[in-house]
Structures are given as structure tokens and as C-alpha cells.
């Protein structure tokens, strides 16, 4: 780890930054610590790329695709925020030399370690390819020799900046010596190209030489396309496999899964020579570990930062997902195991809600975030492995029925025109689930008069939710409908993609608003493979759309009662706890309001601040504290007594005189 430099962030998401691990073409990799001291590698993209909307879209898509990758010899991603001002992602930190660093100091691999290297890297590529991803940059700098075995890094994300193997100007990207013949000829970068580079990688690990030599890039390119590789010194048992892998024709190369099988057979033969009968390991990770004996660099503990005194100490434990990717000098690759540590409150046996209804959740410990001064910086989560990132329900599915994952094309009008009503049990159940979710949400805003129309377009693999036309309906009704439709459709589709990934073909949804009987423009669209939660790195932050919904008056008696009690409790808590303002306590004229967003189960507190009460950092800090204490008390009490109560989140916003609008200053989740 290198020291942090002036201008480096002090904190990214839930991680405190304590130094640097390296930098590359896409960004800088920082050393980070969670609250318990667990070390992570945090990659922050360069500002120039962060300003490119196309880059952000590709970055987000690569994160979603990488969620499908799982298996040994890959490193889990812990959190990511592609929509931050400066996008970032974080992976587990694993010490070790890169392959080229190891060869420079210790020389080539041999014996069991070489077979373990070949097996592990082939298995990593097999996992990547099974998820429909191409690495595109297999090379020694992207393989770390960790104490537990080789780990392949930097797939997908490294090329998010240009999206393909060839830039828009036609300039070839990649590293000479690791580019396949077809890549040179046509710019094609498929799984076969990865296997070509894998063959060269194994040869390099065994001999310390690049099989097509070094020198000027055009000279190397000529040898790759026209000459035979130099495989002298490669062990006989690997020679034939590697020779096939570096064949000129892509069709002559083995696929990654076949290479794994052959390498594991060789590795198993090595293992049986050194273990007692009956104790042979069978998992690839065990086989690799059994033969893996390579030096590792000194890895001293990272210094923990000095923490300032805090006015309010809060903790978090959110939901769980492990995915994958990171790049540059430090690391990123992938393994996924999405889940949710929140425990669903079971509905009674007589409940008529569909099996995939949005579950009641017992909330995690109270957590708050804020953009105020350092004392209000949130505590990182107790365990970053429990951070929820957008998770893909198709993770680990080799051949899902839904094939449009990552397709960001906007809905075409013909998709609405040609969609049809539910056909068959599966579609009818999905329709009922979406309708049930939406009706429950719309009813709280006295909008149960609006019955959504649910249709299906199999060719577009899209479920379409349509509302309107309603004469003289205000725009805020449309916003409530949009939010309800988006959350209901996304949740229902994600449930089915997860449970029936090889047969359920619908993964996209679009929300439409009829302007006439003949037209219904799309007002929202998305796909269920990108996650259905408004969270960033495990922390829900609130949103303008949710605020707009909360401002719409509720017709639910329980919501009206709790809102009234909560506003009074906020006022009382402020006046009791904020000694510096006791001479001028909050009153009804301070304009504090509270409303509910049933889409994300959140209570929003806001003030238009007519007296300028909440313009200072200290007053905003105190307001967040009062809201956290008072609102959570009211929400938890209702949650305990009312089985139909779903609200466990809160967010608070104040008037911002600089923008003449509102700014969120804190948010969190309540628990008993």
C-alpha cells in the first residue's frame, strides 16, 4: 500500500480510505477499511470518464453482467455505485504478486503449482464465459498469485470505456502478445480469443517467455498471425493442450470448460502422488490449494485512520450480495452469491397475497447518512459482505430464457401496440402479482380508481404496464402510477427470473401512460436483472421521485395518524434535545411535513424552512437526529402493532436556498 495523496477521498461509500494500491487507465485503486478493519480495494474511475454518460451506462451494464459470474479463482465485489458523482466499485483485497512480478523475481512455475495455475485460470475463464462475458484482456498483469491460488482480474470493466475491442477510431486496444489472430484481423473479441490468451499465459508461466516473442507491436502481430508459437520447455502433459489453445483458427481451440476438465485431470494425478488413499480432494479450489506453493509478498497491516469524535454514532447492517469485478494494479474479478439478510415477516396462512408479493421485512439496525460535516459521516456497515448492490437474479445461469440482459434500448411504440393479454398460467400469475402490488400502493394515495392494464410482448421479452387516460388528472398522479408500476413489475419479474431462469422469458418492463385510445408513450422502463432497490452501497438514500409521491396526500388512516404523531414527535424531540435553540423552539410555523412513499416503504420528512431555521450545518445535524429518533419510534411502534404496516425507512430534506429546491440531508432504516 502506498500513502494517500493530497486530494484523495477520505471515505467512499461505507469504506474509509487509508492509502493507494495503484492506478490504471480507467481509474485509481484505493486501500479501504470497513468498520471492523476488513481490507478492501476501492476503484474510483477518472473524472473525465465519469462525465461521459455513455461510459456510465456501460459501467453500469458491466457491473450487472458481472453479477452472473461465480466460481473459484475469482474475487468478490462488495459494493458499487455507478451513479455516484464519481462512479466506484469495491472488491475484497487479496495480497499477492502478479504473474509477471513473480516470474521476474522467482522464475517460472513448475510441477503441481503450474498445473494448479493452469486449472485455476481456466476455471476462472469458464465461469466468465458461462455468464456470457468475454474477458478481452487476459495477460500476466491481470492474474494475481494469492496465498490460496491464482485469481484472474479485470474482466469487462476495463473495457467499459470503449465498449468493444476496437475503438471508434479503429485503433487496436489490448496488449501485444496477448491478442488473438482474429482480433488482429477483424477486431473480434470472443471466448475463443480469451482461450488463445490463456494458452499463451500458461506457456509464459511455465517458461518465462512469451510464445510469440517480444518487440515492436507490428512484429509481434505478424508472428501471432503467421508463425508457430515457441512452446519449448513446456511440460509434455500440457504441451498438446496449450498448442491447441494458441491455434490460429478459433474453432480449433478448446472451450474453457474442456480446458478445465483436462487440467483438473492432470492436477488430480499430481495430487494422488502426495496424499494418502481415500483423502483425495474433489473441489477445484481444494485441488489448487493442495498443489499451490508460491512465495507471497510481505503484507503488513494497514493503519487504521484516526476517527473524529462524533455527535451521533450509528451503525448499519444491510442486505447481502457478492458479485465481482475490479481492475488496474490491485484487483478485480468476480464471484456472486446474492441474498438478503433481512428476515421476511410471514403473512398469515389465510393471506391471499401472491407468493412473490413484496415481502414484509424486519428492518436492519438504524442507520443514517448525511452530507454534512465530518461528525455526521455515517459509520460503515458492520460487515461489507452484507452490503446490497444491484443483484442479477440470473447469476450463475448459463442459458437463461431471458436473453436481453444489458439491452438498454428504449421501448418502441410497436411493443405496446403488439403486446397481448396474459396467456397461460405463468403469465396470468405474473399479471396478478403486479396488479396486486400496484393496487396496494395506489390505494394509499386514494388512487384505487386507476386499474393498471398488464400486457406481454414475448418478442420484446417485455411486460407492459399501462395507465390512463384519466381526464384532468394532475401530473403527480402519473408519477405515483409510474413508481408503483416500476417497482411492482421489477419485483415480480425478478422473482420469476430467479426461480425459473431457463423457462421465464420476460426480464424487461415498460410503464406507459395513455394519452388517447390509440397512443400510450412510455414514461419509464428498465429490467429486473439490474436490481429493484433504490439503494447505493447498501444504504437507502431517498429520491426525488419518492418525495413527489410522499407529497401526494394519503388516504390511508394509519398513515395519516402516524404522520401527525411523527411530526409532533419531531418537534418535541428537537425542542427537548437541542439546547442551543430552546429559546426559539420549533413550532407549527416551521413547516415540517411528513408523507409516505409506498413504493419503497419510506417516510419522507421535509421542510420549506420559511424562517431559515435549517440553513446551518449544526441545525441540519440536529434535525437529522430529531427525525431519526422521533420518526423511528413512531414507525417501529406502528410496525409492531399493525400487520399491514410496511414503512421502516425515513429520509429528511430541507430547503436549499442555492438551488431554490430541496436537498436530502439524511436517511436511514429503523428497527426495534
What pLDDT score was predicted for residue 272?
Answer: 57
Which range (109-113, 306-310, 540-544) has the least confidence?
306-310
- Please tell me which residue, 608 or 370, carries the higher pLDDT value: 608
- Please tell me which residue, 497 or 542, carries the higher pLDDT value: 497
Task: Give backbone dihedrals phi and psi of 218, rounded to 5 degrees, phi first.
Answer: -70, -30
What pLDDT score was predicted for residue 262?
Answer: 92
What pLDDT score was predicted for residue 643?
Answer: 81
Q: Which residues contact 44 (CB under 8 A, 6 or more apart)?
A: 9, 12, 27, 28, 30, 86, 87, 88
Residues designated catalytic? 137
Give the tens place of pLDDT for each residue, 470-520: 765 555 678 788 888 888 898 889 889 988 999 999 999 999 988 887 788
**What is the pLDDT confidence band of residue 462, given thresholds at 50, 70 and 90?**
very high
Residue 443, all three cell numbers: 390505494
Give the tens place of pLDDT for each residue, 398-418: 788 998 887 777 888 889 988
What pLDDT score was predicted for residue 391?
Answer: 60
The Cβ-side half-sphere exposure at 354, using a 13 Å CA radius, reads 22
What pLDDT score was predicted for residue 446?
Answer: 77
- Cα distance between residue 128 and residue 598, in whole Å: 38
- Cα distance between residue 339 and residue 396, in whole Å: 13
Compute CA distances 540 → 52, 557, 596, 667, whole Å: 25, 26, 15, 7
- pLDDT for residue 624 is more than 60: yes
| pTM over 0.75, yes/no | no
**What is the pLDDT confidence band of residue 100, given thresholds at 50, 70 and 90?**
very high
- Cα distance between residue 55 and residue 547, in whole Å: 29
Amino acid at each position: 500500500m502506498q500513502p494517500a495523496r493530497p486530494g484523495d477521498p477520505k471515505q467512499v461509500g461505507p469504506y474509509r480510505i487509508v492509502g493507494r494500491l495503484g492506478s490504471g487507465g480507467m481509474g485509481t485503486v484505493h486501500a479501504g477499511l470497513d468498520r471492523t478493519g476488513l481490507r478492501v480495494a476501492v476503484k474510483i474511475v477518472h473524472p473525465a470518464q465519469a462525465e461521459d454518460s455513455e461510459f456510465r451506462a456501460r459501467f453500469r451494464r458491466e457491473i450487472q453482467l458481472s453479477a452472473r459470474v461465480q466460481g473459484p479463482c475469482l474475487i468478490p465485489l462488495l459494493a458499487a455505485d455507478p451513479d455516484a458523482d464519481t462512479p466506484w466499485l469495491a472488491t475484497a483485497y487479496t495480497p499477492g504478486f502478479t504473474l509477471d512480478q513473480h516470474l521476474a523475481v522467482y522464475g517460472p512455475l513448475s510441477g503441481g503449482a503450474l498445473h494448479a495455475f493452469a486449472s485455476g485460470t481456466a476455471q476462472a475463464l469458464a465461469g466468465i464465459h458461462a455468464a456470457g462475458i468475454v474477458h478481452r484482456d487476459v495477460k500476466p498483469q491481470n492474474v494475481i498469485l494469492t496465498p490460496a491460488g491464482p485469481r484472474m482480474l479485470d474482466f469487462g470493466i476495463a473495457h467499459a470505456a470503449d465498449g468493444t475491442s476496437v475503438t471508434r477510431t479503429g485503433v487496436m486496444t489490448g496488449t501485444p502478445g496477448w491478442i488473438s489472430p482474429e482480433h488482429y484481423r477483424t477486431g473480434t473479441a470472443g471466448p475463443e480469443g480469451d482461450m488463445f490468451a490463456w494458452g499463451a499465459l500458461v506457456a509464459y508461466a511455465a517458461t518465462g517467455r512469451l510464445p510469440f516473442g517480444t518487440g515492436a507491436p507490428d512484429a509481434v502481430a505478424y508472428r501471432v498471425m503467421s508463425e508457430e508459437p515457441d512452446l519449448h520447455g513446456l511440460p509434455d502433459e500440457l504441451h498438446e493442450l496449450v498448442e491447441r489453445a494458441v491455434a490460429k483458427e478459433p474453432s480449433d481451440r478448446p472451450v474453457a470448460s474442456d480446458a478445465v476438465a483436462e487440467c483438473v485431470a492432470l492436477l488430480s494425478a499430481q495430487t494422488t502422488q502426495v496424499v494418502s488413499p481415500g483423502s483425495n480432494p474433489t473441489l477445484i479450489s481444494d485441488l489448487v490449494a493442495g498443489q499451490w506453493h508460491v512465495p507471497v509478498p510481505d503484507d503488513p497491516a494497514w493503519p487504521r485512520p484516526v476517527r473524529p469524535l462524533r455527535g451521533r454514532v450509528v451503525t448499519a447492517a444491510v442486505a447481502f450480495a457478492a458479485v465481482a469485478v475490479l481492475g488496474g494494479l490491485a484487483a478485480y474479478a468476480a464471484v456472486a452469491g446474492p441474498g438478503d439478510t433481512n428476515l421476511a415477516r410471514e403473512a398469515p396462512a389465510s393471506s391471499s397475497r401472491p407468493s412473490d408479493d413484496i415481502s414484509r421485512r424486519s428492518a436492519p439496525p438504524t442507520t443514517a447518512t448525511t452530507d454534512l460535516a465530518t461528525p455526521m459521516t455515517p459509520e460503515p456497515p458492520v460487515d461489507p459482505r452484507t452490503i446490497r448492490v444491484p443483484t442479477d437474479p440470473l447469476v450463475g445461469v448459463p442459458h437463461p430464457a431471458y436473453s436481453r440482459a444489458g439491452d438498454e434500448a428504449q421501448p418502441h411504440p410497436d411493443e405496446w401496440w403488439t403486446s397481448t393479454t396474459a396467456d397461460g398460467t405463468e403469465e396470468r400469475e405474473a399479471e396478478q402479482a403486479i396488479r396486486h402490488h400496484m393496487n396496494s400502493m395506489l390505494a394509499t394515495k386514494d388512487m384505487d380508481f386507476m386499474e393498471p392494464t398488464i400486457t406481454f410482448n414475448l418478442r420484446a421479452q417485455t411486460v407492459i404496464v399501462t395507465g390512463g387516460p384519466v381526464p384532468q388528472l394532475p401530473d403527480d398522479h402519473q408519477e405515483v402510477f409510474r413508481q408503483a408500476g416500476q417497482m411492482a413489475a421489477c419485483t415480480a419479474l425478478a422473482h420469476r427470473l430467479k426461480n425459473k431462469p431457463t423457462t421465464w422469458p420476460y426480464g424487461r418492463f415498460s410503464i406507459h401512460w395513455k394519452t388517447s385510445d390509440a397512443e400510450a408513450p412510455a414514461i419509464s422502463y428498465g429490467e429486473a436483472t439490474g436490481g429493484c432497490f433504490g439503494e447505493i452501497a447498501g444504504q437507502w438514500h431517498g429520491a426525488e421521485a419518492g418525495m413527489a409521491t410522499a407529497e401526494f396526500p394519503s388516504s390511508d388512516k394509519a398513515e395519516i395518524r402516524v404522520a401527525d404523531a411523527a411530526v409532533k414527535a419531531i418537534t418535541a424531540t428537537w425542542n427537548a434535545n437541542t439546547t442551543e435553540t430552546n429559546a426559539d423552539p420549533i413550532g407549527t410555523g416551521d413547516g415540517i411535513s411528513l408523507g409516505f412513499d409506498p413504493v419503497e416503504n419510506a417516510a419522507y420528512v421535509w421542510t420549506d424552512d420559511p424562517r431559515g431555521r435549517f440553513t446551518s450545518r449544526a441545525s441540519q445535524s440536529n434535525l437529522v437526529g430529531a427525525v431519526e429518533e422521533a420518526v423511528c419510534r413512531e414507525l417501529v411502534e406502528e410496525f409492531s402493532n399493525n400487520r399491514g404496516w410496511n414503512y421502516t425507512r425515513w429520509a429528511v430534506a430541507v430547503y436549499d436556498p442555492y438551488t431554490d429546491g430541496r436537498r436530502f440531508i439524511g436517511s436511514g432504516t429503523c428497527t426495534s
